[in-house]
Structure formats: C-alpha cells, structure tokens
C-alpha cells in the first residue's frame, strides 16, 4: 500500500503522560501536514513541513506540542503532559506540492 500511514491508530493515555505519533507520507511527497479533528468539527491545521524544514508552527496549540521530520521522510508529532482537552483525532497529510493533499487514517487519542 503506497498511501499515507499513521501509527498508532488508537492511543489511550493518562493525563500528564507524553505521547508520540508517527506519520509516513507517500514516498517522494515533499510536503507534510498535521491536523487535529475534534468531534463534530472539521480538521484544524497544526503545522507543516517542506522536506525536513518546518515552515509553519505558530498554529501548534501550545508549547506542549512539537513536530519533527528529521530526514524529510516520516514525521512525528509529540504532545507532552497531555490534558483531557487533547483528546481528538490527529491527521497527517502529504502532498507533492500543488493543491491536493492525501490523508492518512488518523490517530485517535483518548486522554483519561
């Protein structure tokens, strides 16, 4: 399968714990985006990478959120000291440039 993959698909954690999600984009897509989707809402943009450079991170929800794409291939999104309000679906999308983005299945985070 050559689509965007995300791991894990589901994560349950306790408040205060750190979590890390991984996204593997479509091979050779140079742009990678992270979004958050809460129940009943559309996805909300968080950050994006052009190759390994993080070109926008001001939309990250707080300084507890960080993302990396160390070699311009896969990316990780980390949330430190999780809070119940962080419970959501975290989506990754990749793009070869241009208008179209291809989404992964998402990681559903539940913070107890």
* Contact call for residue 23 and another protein (CB under 8 A): no
The number of beta carbons lying within 10 Å of the beta carbon of residue 99 is: 5
CB 24 within 8 A of CB 73: yes
Instruction: Choose which of 67, 104, 109, 111 interacts with another protein (CB under 8 A).
Output: 104
**Residue from the set 2, 42, 70, 84 that interacts with another protein by CB under 8 A:** 42
Q: Least distance in Å: CB of 21 to another protein? A: 14
Secondary structure of 59-88 in HEC code, one letter for each residue = CCCCCCEEEECCCCCCEEEEECCCCHHHCE
Structure-block tokens of residue 83: 């809070």
Q: Which of 77, 79, 88, 91 binds another protein (CB under 8 A)?
A: 91
* Binds another protein by CB under 8 A, chosen from 22, 26, 31, 64: 31
């Amino acid at each position: 399968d050559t689509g965007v993959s995300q791991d894990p698909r589901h994560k349950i954690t306790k408040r205060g714990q750190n979590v890390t999600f991984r996204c593997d984009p479509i091979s050779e897509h140079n742009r990678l985006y992270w979004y958050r989707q809460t129940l009943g809402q559309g996805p909300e943009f968080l950050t994006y990478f052009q190759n390994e450079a993080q070109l926008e991170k001001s939309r990250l929800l707080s300084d507890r959120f960080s993302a990396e794409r160390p070699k311009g291939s896969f990316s990780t999104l980390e949330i430190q000291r999780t809070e119940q309000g962080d419970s959501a679906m975290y989506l990754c999308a990749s793009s070869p440039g241009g208008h179209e983005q291809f989404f992964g299945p998402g990681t559903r985070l539940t913070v107890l």
